[in-house]
Amino acid sequence: MPPSNLVVEKLRQQIDCLEETQSRFSRTIPVADAIDDWLPYGGLPAGCVHEVKGNNLASAIAFSAVLSSRLVADRGYILYVAPDRFLYPLGLLPYGVKLDRLLHISVRRSRDLAWAVMEALRCPQVSSVIAVLGGLDLTDSRRLQLAAETSGATGFLLGSAGSAPISSAMTRWKISSIVSKSGQRFDQPLWGVDLLYCRGGRPGRWILEWRGQKLNSILTQLAQQVSCEALAG
Alpha-carbon distance values, 78 to 45, 65, 230 (Å): 17, 9, 33
Sign, Cα dihedral of 152, 99, 53, 198: positive
- Per CB under 8 A, does 115 bind another protein? yes
15 backbone dihedrals φ, ψ, rounded to 5°: -65, -40
- Per CB under 8 A, does 150 bind another protein? no
| Integer Cα distance of 150 and 165 in angstroms | 23
Identify which of residues 45 and 155 has a Cβ nearer to another protein in the complex: 155
Among 27, 184, 197, 219, binds another protein (CB under 8 A): 184
| Nearest of 35, 40, 67 to residue 51 by alpha carbon | 67
Identify which of residues 100 and 229 has a Cβ nearer to another protein in the complex: 100
Smallest separation, CB 185 to another protein (Å): 8
Q: Which of residues 55-84 bind another protein (CB under 8 A)?
A: 56-59, 61-63, 75, 77
Identify which of residues 102 and 198 has a Cβ nearer to another protein in the complex: 102
List, in order, residues 6 or more apart from 15 with CB less than 8 Å away.
none
| Integer Cα distance of 77 and 100 in angstroms | 9
Identify which of residues 178 and 219 has a Cβ nearer to another protein in the complex: 178
**Size, binding site for another protein by CB under 8 A:** 52
Among 95, 156, 173, 206, binds another protein (CB under 8 A): 95
